[in-house]
Structure 1
Amino acid sequence: LLLTYSLSYLLTSLLHKVCSVEPKQLCVLDCHFTMLLPIITAAAVGLATGLLLQKMFYPYIWLDLIYYFKLQRVKQTMKRRMRQGVITLLDCFVRQAKCTPEKPFIIYEGEAYSYGDVERRSNKVAQVLNAHSGLQKGDTVALFISNEPDFICVWFGLAKLGCVVAFLNFNIKSRALVHCLGACGAKTVVVGADLFHTLEEILPSLLQSGIQVWLLAKSSSHQEVLTLLDKMEDASEEPLPTDLCSSPNIFSNSLYIFTSGTTGMPKAACISHLKEVMSMCFLKMCGVTCHDVVYITLPLYHMSASLLGIGGCIELGAACVLKKRFSASQFWNDCKKYNITVFQYVGELCRYLINQPKVPEETAHKVRLAAGSGLRPDVWKEFVKRFGNIKVVESYGLTESNIGFINYTDKIGPVGRASFINKWSLQFDFVKYDVEKEEPIRHRDGYCETGLLITPVSVVSPFLGYAGNKEMSEKKLLRNVFKEGDVFFNTGDFMLIDQDDFVYFRDRTGDTFRWKGENVATTEVTDVLASLDFLQEVNVYGVSVPGHEGKAGMAAVILRPNQVLDCRSLYCHLKKHLPSYSWPRFIRIQESLDVTETFKQQKSKLVQQGFDLSQVTEPLYFLDESEETYSPLSSEVFAEIMSAHKRI
């Protein structure tokens, strides 16, 4: 009321002085204003109440709405481009190369390649392979190439021929390599010069199987191996004739991207053109612009680097600094040297950075944003505290599925939000899961209970399966979930939703174990152990113990430099923060933890070895509850546990 009367007085005074309004007229205006006073007051009270209720019950609604409209704008842009004939990732690149041919695209080891350079070089690749390889539209060609500009040039050149391209993990060896080539049905493989020695071991069998081998070099010591670079020198830079170019269906297969193979052999996930184009929008949704310089240290055979990173730069017309391999010691030097403003992370990359000694460059940089997935909350807090004003955009996504979340808020920990607005635009559900049976829990009527993240399979959100593995493809599908005939994709990931609708990644289905009748999420145990100052790395998993149902928790750990395992503190810490059934029954000290190239922890070998003293030569400890500590695992204690004479 005081504010309203004050405004009334100021308004009448202003009209009198500026507009020369007579006092009599002012009196009339003031009378009218007084009559409107109850309405204005009611409106102000209603607005204030509404804002207060919104702040109390829906504090993130404005951010949800901004994200929703940003997503709708991206979708409209995609639809408009498709009507213009720009359908695939390759179409988007060609369009960008025409619009900004001189703009730097790839910066590699100090040398810059513009959008026009990559367009012309990929044309040369297409011209050579069209003239000498005999490849046809729809043939599968595998790339066995390290992180380098020619990975992208060969990829785009093959796409211009209408070939399906398979990205091979350049760390795999002979047996796994043969498996991957067979799974995707590759007729040709293009190998980088630095990786040819890996292929030589299986070269005779490849040639015998009719697989053509092209080497990214000017010459080869093997007569049967074709060389690419020498032929490209004289090849035309012009695009292939229109009649030879592919006109794909947006739902057709474009790529094979292999899973990292944390358990078992890698699987070849089928990636459609639609999935490619959707993935290209990731950096834009994170807030990256065409003026940014994006640092990609992740392997290009992984979707994060190729589709989200390279594809994201193409979508924006941004520049990308490509690194052959991630180096924690060189990271901040590179950021300063190349004026990096954005970098991609995945898995434990950020943990490696905070474990490095402090250097001046780690705060003397222009990095403003880090985008990726798999960043643990404890590392997240330390990262933003130590490395300057860097906004972290954590996300969640899968190679095989179109479901995805982005945390567009400043809250540390979640991968995104499941607000009613996001549920409206993104289709997903959660179902309860039986850890021991490794299948969703169903009601008596056969339908699923509502934990495990699933997403409906539809025409616009398809699941193309795994190449050459129909059984595994079918296992990823859940049928008759909520009604007869519906089909859902099983992500295999457990999520947690809090009271504010934030979504947290908790565990993979295979990473959860059941002990003493309780389900235990390995990530929860890992987070608690990782907060101990004498532990640097932690990997938690479940192991079988004779005479016990389910699996007992076990942790492989790396000690920080000049630190020892403080068994008493470890016990007290667990007692304070976790229920007893979650405590690791065994601790294994290692010099290093096995991880994939995308920094996912390897667990299958650790699970297989368990706490078997005949297989583990490193120090092992067991939970000694009678002494309230962890004690060294001796052969006598091991024998008692194995004979089920000792309960743990």
Structure 2
Amino acid sequence: MPTAPVDEIYYPIIYLKTWGRLGLRVLVSTIVRVRMWEKHEAGVVSVWSKVCVQHADKKALIMGDRALTFSEGDALSNRVAWYFKRQGFKRGEVIAVYMETQPEYVFIWLGLAKLGVIGSLVNSNLRGAQLLHCLRVASCKALICAIKEIKDELRDMPLFQYNFLDRKTAEIIGDAMPLAAELKEMPSDAVTDAVATKLHDTLLYIYTSGTTGLPKAAIITNIRYLLIASGVQTCGSLKSSDVVYNPLPLHHTAGGVLGVGQALTHGNTVVLRKKFSASNYWQDAAKYECTVAQYIGEICRYLLAVPPGPADRAHKVRMIVGNGLRPHIWEQFVQRFGIHRVLEFYGATEGNSNLVNLDSKVGAVGILSGLLSFIYPITLVKCDQISGEILRDSNGLCVPCEPQEPGLLLGKIDTKKEVCTFAGYADKAASENKVVRNVRKHGDCYFNSGDILVMDHYGYFYFRDRTGDTFRWRGENVSTAEVESLISTLIGLKDTIVFGVTIPNVEGKAGLVAIADPDNKLDLDVLSRGLQSNLPTYARPLFLRILTKTPVTATFKLKKKELLEQGFDPQLHEDPMYFLDQKSGCYLPLTRRLYEDIIEGVVKL
């Protein structure tokens, strides 16, 4: 009697075992909410209005010793709407919001939204060419700022300066309008003749981090804002009584949508902090009696690096929400800080292939069963992990990956399903570059996440690497994420970034690791021995750069573009550099003479 195929025996059993974790509840709940929003044409402003009535005297946003209640925030947003209406701004125009984190920040862009004016949330750390690029790519008509160091290039753009309470006496910049003072003269009731926003209207522009290039202005529609905020509420089973700790920048999706959105759309109190502080994280959480806390990127590693203390478990946080908790520190983190649930998610600001780890599976960024692919069609396809080029079969279609096989994550674009739409960027050419056509059948189109993931037999997804980050050396593929993870463990959780560099007349790219060590505590012997014990020869970084400063973005990622451009030439910067000696296995100082010998091929690699 012939043996039944593995798929016929194995997968039904798997589906039964994982039925409770498939995310069906989340998807169904999301679809019901979307239909409700569509029926009532309820945008963010409409949802906020109902929330505000229900929680009028409750604190909406807290920062330090200040707080704004829901009614106070609504009044401020109304004044903003009246003011910019009288300034002549019209529906669909764009005003940049260029401010540091404060409770008022949120209600300023919300006030613009009440007029149908789009808020462009620009990173307040940007200056010069990058700032001008962000304003230009979103076609900004004016700038609301609270920062004195504005470049002369902005003289032709109307400036509205809002001085926060902690700097209310700050000098007004040039011809800027003193917005805080003028808002006091505005009515606090709603603008009566404002046209209601629709679900697909653009609410905000939020910029990508720009770690490897100039930032792109991602379009955040009303429906996308609501989906992101409600997704967290549904997946995490949050109640309106939950207090959320949000120490993240408000110009990014994690802080400004996922975090603040819990207040705007669900009535939660959200605690803000102007700048993330590892030493104050748990103290803040305890002080404000937070029950949910946010993290991104390397925050969890920074928290582990703080010496243990009484604040570690003095808080009431039961769940942390975010992305980027590394698998190798996951269990250590939850055990030390007493966290009952980790709601790790995967997604991009503009993407439609988002995933959520619903049951705190260590290391997983999400789970989705093949049973739900007809509702939420995402797929992993084979690609060249070096170039990111998608591999296709003889019919010109993409080749799907098998379980445990790394592949490029794609999400089907379907304008008839809100969870599958792709609004793109303000730059149409940039939007088109993210679209892949003829994936499963001719004529279809998918969003290209640019990320390599792996899915196991149970439907759990694990992040592997970014396309283009993997490089080839000595005929082998090197995953930067895996090497970074190991090195971070070996040297005590320091900021680490690995990438490949080209050497003249040498095939492939050699590894270079840049490690932030401003206190000069890195032990090179420990590092070199650890690499020899844990990595194959081809994966060991040939070059080492010690960063005397830590150049990180607002989302706590090391700035990669400049490091890539400088490569392994020690004359292009002042940081110490080392070369991995092939005989001794130790890192030696990369002198100018040694650099030239490597370039000329004198040194054998």
TM-score (norm 1): 0.85
Tell me what 1:212 maps to: 158
2: CA distance, partners of 1:496 / 1:222: 51
Partner of 1:340 in structure 2? 290
Instruction: Provide the residue aligned with 2:448 in structure 1.
Output: 490
Structure 1 position 60, deviation (Å): 4.9
Residue in 2 that maps onto 1:240 = 191
2:99 aligned with 1:145: yes
* 2:32 equivalent to 1:76: yes
In structure 1, give the amino acid aligned to 2:458.
Answer: D
1:572-616 CA distance string (max 9 Å, x none): 433443333222111222234321100122212112222212124
Task: Return closer, same or farther for 1:593/1:444 CA change in 2, 3 Å cut-off.
Answer: farther
- 2:450 is aligned with 1:465: no
Tell me which amino acid in the other structure corresponds to 1:122: S
Where in structure 2 are the equivalents of 1:469-484 lying within 5 Å?
A: 469-484=427-442
Per the TM alignment, residue 563 of structure 1 is displaced from its structure 2 partner at its CA by 4.3
**1:185 aligned partner, one-letter code:** S
Q: State the AA in 1 paired with 2:485.
A: D
Aligned positions of 1:74-473 closer than 5 A: 74-85=30-41, 87-131=42-86, 133-192=87-146, 195=147, 197-204=148-155, 207=156, 211-217=157-163, 221=172, 224-241=175-192, 244-284=193-233, 285-450=235-400, 451-459=407-415, 460=417, 461-467=420-426, 469-473=427-431
Distance, in Å, in 2 between the alignment partners of 1:552 and 1:562 is 25
User: Would you say the 8 A contact 1:435–1:514 is kept in 2?
Assistant: no
- When structure 1 is superposed on structure 2, of 377-386 and 433-442 the one drifting more is 433-442
Amino acid at match of 2:54: C
Give 1:371 shift: 0.2
Residue 543 (structure 2) aligns with: 586
Do the aligned partners of 1:299 and 1:325 also contact (CA within 8 Å) in 2?
A: yes
Counterpart Cα distance in 2 of 1:102 and 1:318: 12
Kindly provide the amino acid, as one letter, of the partner of residue 355 in structure 2.
F
Distance 1:222 1:299, change over 3 A: closer
Report the structure, 1 or 2, having the larger helix content.
Answer: 1
Contact persistence 1:275–1:402 (CA under 8 A): no
SS of the equivalent of 1:127 reads helix
- Tell me, yes or no, if the aligned pair for 1:418 and 1:497 is still in contact at 8 Å: no
CA-to-aligned-CA distance 1:439-495 (integer Å, 9 cap, x gap): 21223433222210111122133323222x333222111122232221111111110
Match of 2:527 among 558, 563, 570: 570
Cα deviations by residue, 1:30-71 (Å, 9 ceiling, x for unpaired): xxxxxxxxxxxxxxxxxxxxxxx9997458514324x31233
Q: In 2, distance between residues paired with 1:404 and 1:303?
A: 13
Deviation for aligned residue 1:123: 0.8
Does the 8 Å contact 1:283/1:313 carry over to 2? no
Distance 1:403 1:452, change over 3 A: same
1:8-38 Cα deviation digits (max 9, x unpaired) = xxxxxxxxxxxxxxxxxxxxxxxxxxxxxxx
Question: What runs of 5+ residues in structure 2 fail to find an aligned partner?
Answer: 1-9, 401-406
Matched AA of 2:421: P
CA distance in structure 1 between the aligned counterparts of 2:522 and 2:36, rounded to whole angstroms: 61
Q: Which amino acid aligns with 2:457?
A: Q
Q: How far apart are the structure 2 equivalents of 1:477 and 1:58?
A: 31
Residue 5 (structure 2) aligns with: none
Whole-angstrom CA distance in 2 between matches of 1:265 and 1:164: 21
Instruction: Supply the distance in 2 between the matched residues of 1:475 and 1:102 (Cα, whole angstroms).
Output: 47
- Deviation by residue 1:282-324 (Cα, 9 ceiling, x = unmatched): 3211232211110111110001111111112333311111111
Partner amino acid for 2:211? T
SS at match of 2:33: helix
Change (3 A) 1:56 1:561: farther
Give the secondary-structure state (helix, strand or coil) at the position aligned to 1:372: strand
Kindly provide the CA deviation profile for residues 93-141 of structure 1, in whole angstroms up to 9, marking residues without a partner as x: 111001221122111222222111111111111112212x110111111
1:147/1:559 CA distance change after superposition, 3 Å: closer
Among residues 566, 577, 589, which one is paired with 1:609 in the alignment?
566
What amino acid maps onto 2:93 in structure 1?
D
CA distance in 2, matches of 1:199, 1:618: 30
The amino acid that maps onto 1:233 is: K
Q: For the residues of structure 1 that align with 2:288 and 2:123, how far apart are their CA atoms? A: 27
Matched residue, 2:479:
521
- The answer to whether the 8 Å contact 1:588/1:621 transfers is yes
Cα distance in 2 for residues equivalent to 1:255 and 1:414: 30
* SS of alignment partner, residue 240 of structure 2: coil
Is 1:632 aligned to 2:589, yes or no? Answer: yes
The separation in 2 between residues aligned to 1:470 and 1:516, in whole angstroms, is: 39
* Residues in 1 aligned to 2:298 and 2:317: alpha-carbon distance in whole angstroms: 19
Letter in 2 for 1:550: G
Q: Could you say what secondary structure the match of 1:536 adopts? A: coil
Provide the C-alpha distance between the structure 2 equivalents of 1:463 and 1:56, rounded to a whole number of angstroms: 34
Helix, strand or coil for the counterpart of 1:93? helix
| Equivalent-residue separation in structure 1 for 2:482 and 2:133 (angstroms) | 35
| 1:30 alignment partner in structure 2 | none
Cα pair 2:21 2:359 within 8 Å, conserved: no
The 2-side partners of 1:401 and 1:70 are apart by: 18
1:370/1:392 contact within 8 Å kept: yes
Letter in 2 for 1:216: Y
SS in 2 for 1:439: coil
Return the offset for 1:562. Answer: 7.8
In the alignment, the residues of structure 1 paired with residue 518 and residue 396 of structure 2 have an alpha-carbon distance, to the nearest angstrom, of 50
Letter in 2 for 1:581: Y
Q: Quick check: 2:344–2:360 contact (8 Å CA) kept in 1?
A: no
Residues 1:59 and 1:520: Cα distance change in structure 2 (over 3 Å): farther
Contact 1:174–1:201 under 8 Å retained in 2 = no
Q: Distance in 2 between matches of 1:278 and 1:237?
A: 29
Is the CA contact 1:63–1:409 (under 8 Å) kept in the aligned structure 2? no
Q: 1:442 to 1:225 in 2, by over 3 A?
A: same
How far is the alpha carbon of 1:560 from its aligned partner?
Answer: 9.8
1:516-558, Cα deviation, whole Å (9 max, x unpaired): 2332221011111122145633211111112222211111124
Q: What displacement does 1:276 show?
A: 1.1
Residue 515 of structure 2 aligns with which residue?
557
Structure 1: distance between partners of 2:61 and 2:574: 46
- Percent of residue pairs bearing the same amino acid type: 34
> Which residue does the alignment assign to 2:4?
none
Q: Distance in 1 between matches of 2:92 and 2:414?
A: 24
Larger radius of gyration: 1
Residue type at the aligned position of 2:95: V
Per-residue Cα deviation, 1:171-226 (whole angstroms, up to 9, x for no partner): 0002211111111001121112xx1x22253332xx2xxx3211114896456322
What is the rounded CA distance, in whole Å, between the counterparts of 2:180 and 2:530 in structure 1?
Answer: 59
Residue of structure 1 in register with 2:7 after alignment: none
Shift of 1:435: 4.1
